[in-house]
Chain A
Amino acid sequence: MIHQEISRAFVKSISYFNEFIRNELHIPLGLKDNANLFPLIDHMYESDEGKVGELSFLTDEGSIKNEKMRKGKVDLRRELYHKAGKEAVDHISTYRISILWNLTILDDIETYPELLLPGQSHCLNSKPPKLDEVIVKKCSCLEDYNFILNKIIKYLDDCD
């Protein structure tokens, strides 16, 4: 329910913004449809980008799996239990992922920005699956934020 309310709020905000720039600033072009971020989830999972800290997925036997690593530990993709499970099935259908990076911004300062793509299991039933939000966490500075934004852009381009 909360997710639907957030989506509705986004749509409403975009609509108000477009109406404002059209009526008050006389600019005919507004914000267009949002990008579909859902393909990023599996694309990033199948890459070796960062460390996967959290993953949710479905199997075709009907199970819903949620897996989460303790902060800063092994990449979930390389965890034994996860690897064995994945090898036992044809494929998994991912719908939610968080990826963490360890960046060094100065000689002795490290940061740990995190990207969460918060899809829900029922997204996989949609034709096509859609996601219109990301959550960027633990950014210590603008560089961290831009780093993640560039990752999103890069992987979105690769999805096309």
Chain B
Amino acid sequence: MTVISKQALLDQIYEDWGSKPQSKICVEILEYLLRSSQASHITYGSLRKVIGKLYNDNELLMAVQYLCGDKTKLFEVKFELLDYDDNYIEVSNAEIDYANETGKLVHPESGEYISDFEDKVYMYFQPSLIVKNIAQ
């Protein structure tokens, strides 16, 4: 189990983004993850609320993409399907990859093909194991 210090993460963020708004966005999101250990299903709308109105969507998107990437890996990207009965069903990344290749998504429970799956699959973010092992 790798333990990483909060300071090392902050240094990495500022090294990568310098004085750009993304530095502050990433730091605010990091602080949020550290104070909200129960958070496990984070939507884009939630992150927007975390950072407030100071930053635009483009800046937030770039920051989130960075936090999902190899440099920090604070977030794992997850997908869920909103099915005909308005139930959210988790879909694995492998199933999404397969659907993108073939144009067909198989319902994880019923086995039926889902048409227009792009309109019914939604992305959210889950704090990675790294977040649980940050030494403050």
Q: How large is the interface on B (under 10, 10 to 19, 20 to 34, 35 or more residues)?
A: 20 to 34
Interface size on A, residues (CB 8 A): 21
Residues on A with C-beta less than 8 A from B48 are: 128-129
Decide if B132 is an interface residue (CB 8 Å cutoff).
no
- Say whether B44 contacts A126, CB under 8 Å: yes
Known: A91-B49, A91-B50, A93-B49. A125 touches B43 (CB 8 A): yes
Instruction: Tell me the residues in window 1-20 of chain A with beta carbons closer than 8 Å to chain B beta carbons.
Output: 1, 4
Known: A122-B122, A125-B122. A60 touches B46 (CB 8 A): yes
Decide if B136 is an interface residue (CB 8 Å cutoff).
no
Give the Cβ gap from A55 to chain B, nearest Cβ, in Å: 15
Cα separation A90 to B47 with both chains bound (whole Å) = 11
Give the Cβ gap from B107 to chain A, nearest Cβ, in Å: 16
Stretch at the interface among B6-14, B16-24, B32-40, B92-100: B32-40
- Say whether B43 contacts A90, CB under 8 Å: no
Q: Of A58, A61, A159, which is within 8 A of B38 by CB?
A: A61
Cα separation A129 to B84 with both chains bound (whole Å) = 21
Give the Cβ gap from A45 to chain B, nearest Cβ, in Å: 11
Per DSSP, chain B at the interface is mixed
Q: Of A1, A42, A58, A89, which is within 8 A of B43 by CB?
A: A58
Cα separation A124 to B48 with both chains bound (whole Å) = 9
Cα separation A108 to B7 with both chains bound (whole Å) = 65
Instruction: Digitize A1-43: 1 where CB-to-B-CB distance is under 8 Å, 0 elsewhere.
Output: 1001000000000000000000000000000000000000010
Decide if A101 is an interface residue (CB 8 Å cutoff).
no
Decide if B41 is an interface residue (CB 8 Å cutoff).
yes
Decide if A123 is an interface residue (CB 8 Å cutoff).
yes
Instruction: Tell me the residues in window 85-108 of chain A with beta carbons closer than 8 Å to chain B beta carbons.
Output: 89-91, 93, 95
Known: A42-B49, A91-B49, A122-B122. A129 touches B36 (CB 8 A): no
User: Please, could you name 13 A-B residue pairs with CB atoms under 8 Å apart, sorted by A?
Assistant: A4-B119, A58-B46, A60-B38, A60-B39, A60-B41, A90-B36, A91-B46, A93-B43, A93-B46, A124-B45, A125-B43, A127-B44, A128-B44
